[in-house]
Structure 1
Amino acid sequence: MNCTKRYVISIFILIALVCAAAAQEQGYRPLTGKFIKDTQRYGLGELTIINDNSQKDALIVITDLNQKPLMEVFIRSKETFKISGITDGKYNIYFRVGNSWDRDNSKFLEDEVRYKLDRPLEFETEETWDGTSYSIWMIALEEAVPDANQAMEKILVAEEDFPS
Structure 2
Amino acid sequence: MKFSGSAGRSVLAVGAALLLAACSGGGGTAAPSATPTAGATPFGPVLSKNIDPVNAALAQISGVKSLGEFDGVLSTLDTAAHEASRALNVADAPAAAAEDRHDLANALSVLQEDVANVRGAIKARDVCALSSAEAKLGDSQGLASVSTLLAKLSAVGYSASLSVPPLPKQQSRSLDNGTMVSKGKLRGEGVFKVDNGGKVNAVVSLVLNGKAVHSVFVAKGQKASVEGVEDGTYDVYVSEGADWDSATKAFTQNCAFTKFEDNFPYETGSTSTSWEITLQPVADGNAKTNDVDPNSFPQP
TM-score range with shorter-chain normalisation? 0.7 to 0.9
- Does the Cα contact within 8 Å between 2:201 and 2:218 map onto a contact in 1? yes
Segments of 5+ residues of structure 1 without an aligned counterpart are 1-21, 128-132
The equivalent of 1:31 in structure 2 is 176
User: Percent sequence identity over matched residues?
Assistant: 21
Higher relative contact order (CA 8 A, sep 6+): 1
Name the TM-score, length of structure 2 as normaliser: 0.42
CA–CA distance in structure 2, aligned partners of residues 116 and 102 of structure 1? 21
Aligned CA distance change for structure 1 residues 137 and 144 (closer, same or farther; 3 Å): farther
Name the TM-score, length of structure 1 as normaliser: 0.74
CA-CA distance at 1:144 after TM superposition: 3.0
CA–CA distance in structure 1, aligned partners of residues 184 and 289 of structure 2? 25
CA-CA distance at 1:99 after TM superposition: 1.1
CA–CA distance in structure 2, aligned partners of residues 85 and 74 of structure 1? 17
CA-CA distance at 1:145 after TM superposition: 7.2
The equivalent of 2:269 in structure 1 is 126
Task: Choose between structure 1 and 2: higher helix proportion.
Answer: 2
Match for 1:155 among 278, 290, 295? 290
Aligned CA distance change for structure 1 residues 145 and 44 (closer, same or farther; 3 Å): farther
The equivalent of 1:117 in structure 2 is 260
Q: How far does the alpha carbon of each residue in 1:45-88 deviate from its partner, in whole angstroms, 9 at most, with x for none?
A: 111101110x2000111110x11111121111000001111111
CA–CA distance in structure 2, aligned partners of residues 157 and 61 of structure 1? 14
The equivalent of 2:17 in structure 1 is none
> What one-letter code is carried by the residue in structure 2 that aligns with 1:56?
V
Q: What count of residue pairs does the alignment treat as equivalent?
A: 132
- Does the Cα contact within 8 Å between 2:173 and 2:242 map onto a contact in 1? no
Q: How far does the alpha carbon of each residue in 1:109-149 deviate from its partner, in whole angstroms, 9 at most, with x for none?
A: 2111100111210011133xxxxx22111100012377xx6
Q: CA RMSD in A?
A: 1.9
Question: Which deviates further from its counterpart, 26-35 or 77-86?
Answer: 26-35
The equivalent of 1:142 in structure 2 is 280
Q: Secondary structure at the match of 1:92?
A: strand
1:62 matches 2:206 = yes
CA–CA distance in structure 1, aligned partners of residues 204 and 231 of structure 2? 19
Larger Rg: 2
The equivalent of 1:45 in structure 2 is 190
- Does the Cα contact within 8 Å between 2:194 and 2:278 map onto a contact in 1? yes
Aligned CA distance change for structure 1 residues 27 and 144 (closer, same or farther; 3 Å): same
> What one-letter code is carried by the residue in structure 2 that aligns with 1:28?
R
CA–CA distance in structure 2, aligned partners of residues 125 and 36 of structure 1? 24
Misfit runs of 4+, over 4 Å: none
CA–CA distance in structure 2, aligned partners of residues 145 and 81 of structure 1? 21
